[in-house]
Amino acid sequence: MRYELPSPNTETHNLQNLFVPGAQSKVFPSAPVGLLYPGDPGVPAGRIPTQKTAFAPRVALAYDPTGSGKWLISSAYGIFYEPYYTGEGGPLQDPVSAPPYLQTPQVGFGMNGINFANPFNGANPFGPTFAEPMTLLVVSNKLRLPYAQDWNLNVQRSLGNDLLFEIGYVGTTGVKLQRFIEGNPAAYFPGQSSEGNVDQRRLYSGCTLTAPPPNTCVYGSVGEIASLAHSNYNALESSLRKRFSHGLSFLASYTYSKAIDDVSSFNITGSASQQVAGENDLGAEPF
C-alpha cells in the first residue's frame, strides 16, 4: 500500500483566484462577482482542498502450475496517482491570469473606438482595476488528483535452456485526467450569433446581446483546468527471448493494442473545443 499527500501549489502573497459564478469575495469585496481568493470561505491557500484519500494499493502474484520451473503465471494490479496540481504545467500558469494583480486584457482594433492610438480604450491596463472583459486561466474548485489503474496477466514458458516465450494481457485506464475546458461558454442564438458578439453570448459574461457599445462584459473566455478526462489502453503482448549463448542473443516481440481517450494531451487545443477524435468525444488515439 502506498499513500501520497501532494499539496496544491500556493503563491507567497495569495495573489491567485478561482472562478465560481455567482459567488462574491469577502477577501476582495470590490472584485466582480465570480472571483474568489485564498481566504474566502472554502478557498484555502492552494485554492482547492488537499486530497487526503490518495491510497494506492498494489498487489501481485506468481504461480508455477507444474512445479517444474518451466511454466510461470503472474498477475498484478496497482493504482498510481499523478500529483499534477503541485505546480507542473497549466496550474503553474494560473498566476498569469489573476486579476487585478496580473491580468490579460482583451483588445481589438477597428471596433468600439479602439485603435493603435488608443488600444485599451482609455483604460489603464497596469492600474489596480479589473480589465474587462477579463480573460481567465483558473483551476476548477473541484479539481482532483488524476490516477491510473494498471493490471496485467502473463504466462511464461521456458523452451530448452536459453529460450523464454511470454504472452500476456496488459491494461490501464486513466481516471480524472486534467484537461482544459471553457468555463464560460457562449450560447448560440439562431440569427443573432456572430464572431463579433461571442462575449455577449457567454453564460457568465455579465452582459447581454443588447448591451450598447462600448463592450460592458465583465468576463470573456475562462480557460478552466478540470478533472474530466479518461483514457483506456488494452494490449496483447508476446515475446521470445534468447539468453546469450554460443555468441548469440535476441529478443523478438509483438504487441497488438488499442488506446482510446477523450483528451490526448493536456493542452491539445486550449479551452476551446475542437472537432477532432480524442478531443470532444471518446475516440481512438490519433497516433
Average pLDDT over residues 97-105: 75
Say if residue 94's pLDDT is above 60: no
Do 80 and 148 touch, CB atoms closer than 8 A?
yes
Contacts by residues 123-127 (CB-CB < 8 Å, ≥ 24 positions apart): none
193 — pLDDT class (breaks 50, 70, 90): confident
Tell me, what's the pLDDT at 163?
94
* Domain ranges, ordered by start, for the chain: 2-284
Please give the residue that has the higher pLDDT: either 220 or 25. Answer: 25
| Residue 42: how many other CB atoms lie within 10 Å | 11
Residue 254's pLDDT band, with cuts at 50, 70 and 90, is very high
pTM given for the model: 0.79
Task: Count Cβ neighbours within 10 Å for each residue of 254-286 and write b for 16 or more, e otherwise.
Answer: eeeeeebbbbbeeeeeebeeeeeebbeeeeeee
Residue 215 has pLDDT above 70, yes or no: no
Q: Is the dihedral of CA 17, 18, 21, 27 positive or negative?
A: negative
Query: Is the pLDDT assigned to residue 216 strictly greater than 50?
Result: yes
Q: Residue 260 pairs with which residues in a beta bridge? A: 232, 284
